[in-house]
Amino acid sequence: MGYKIFQPERSRPVLGVLFDMDGLVLDTEKLYARFWREAAHSLGFPMTWEQALGMRSLNKAAGQEQLTRYFGPGASYPEFRARRIEKMDAYIRQHGVEPKPGIVPLLDYLDEHHIPAAITSSSPMDRIRAYLEPLGLYHRFAKICSGYEVPRGKPAPDIYLHGAAQLGLSPENCLALEDSPAGILSAYRAGCLPVIVPDLDQPDEATLPLLYAKADSLADIPALLESRK
């Protein structure tokens, strides 16, 4: 357990924290990977686990580019996504979703230190609420921001620029917590302090130079914040 800071020279105060949702606040990324694969297989495309991980947090255009790289022009992102949503929603209706370890103590820490938090998720607003509210997490965030509210989804910077603006802060004063390469790139492009909390895999060589820091778990974020004081 612990954290590693890669860019200690970026020492502006952290005045807010922006949270990705899937794979970061909620233990749902494993479900996305599973049901991207199941959707692909049901449509006749043998998607691997590694390929499914590559679909994380991508907007429509980036998702179509990824599928075309995998399977050629015959792979339709809207068709794949609709099938994935159908299968995953059916599973969640029966089993629900689980929070990631450490999220409640981290939110308690931020409340105690008067550091506002926002969700900056690629998911639509109704899904964010449906996932967070039963866990008592929806109202723990000062702002809830959906990728559907901005012109471009991740890895474009729009959602993180929007999240910082909703908190009334400069992106440079916001820690951005992510688990995926596309999310880290989005936060980096926005000018935030990108921190990866790995979920299903470790950051690759293209992601490492973008990181302000890497934390083993959400439980390590309070210590990371304390180190900046």
Q: What is the mean pLDDT of residues 190-207?
A: 94
Residue 198 has pLDDT above 90, yes or no: yes
Among 159, 165, 202, residue whose Cα is nearest residue 180: 202
Among 64, 166, 70, residue whose Cα is nearest residue 120: 166
Q: Which residues are paired to 213 by β-bridges?
A: 5, 195
Q: Which domain holds residue 79?
A: 29-95
Q: How many domains does the chain have?
A: 2
Q: Are 115 and 158 in contact (CB under 8 A)?
A: no
Residue 229 has pLDDT above 90, yes or no: no
Neighbour tally for 129: CB within 10 Å: 15
> Tens of pLDDT along 14-25?
999 999 999 999
Asked whether residue 33 falls in the same domain as residue 23, the answer is no
Bond into 203 cis (ω within 30): no
> What pTM does this model have?
0.89
Averaged pLDDT score across all residues of the chain: 95
Q: Which two tokens stand for residue 68?
A: 């075309």
Q: Looking at 95, 120, 149, which one is the last position of a domain?
A: 95
> Tens of pLDDT along 85-105?
999 999 999 999 999 999 999
Q: Which residues, 6+ apart, have CB-to-CB distance to 49 below 8 Å?
A: 33, 37
Residue 214 has pLDDT above 90, yes or no: yes
Asked whether residue 23 falls in the same domain as residue 39, the answer is no
In this prediction, residue 108 carries a pLDDT of 98
Asked whether residue 52 falls in the same domain as residue 163, the answer is no
Residue 185 has pLDDT above 90, yes or no: yes
Asked whether residue 81 falls in the same domain as residue 190, the answer is no
In this prediction, residue 195 carries a pLDDT of 98
Confidence of residue 201 (pLDDT cuts 50, 70, 90): confident
Residue 196 has pLDDT above 80, yes or no: yes
Q: Looking at 53, 68, 95, which one is the last position of a domain?
A: 95
Asked whether residue 90 falls in the same domain as residue 143, the answer is no
Q: What is the mean pLDDT of residues 93-121?
A: 97
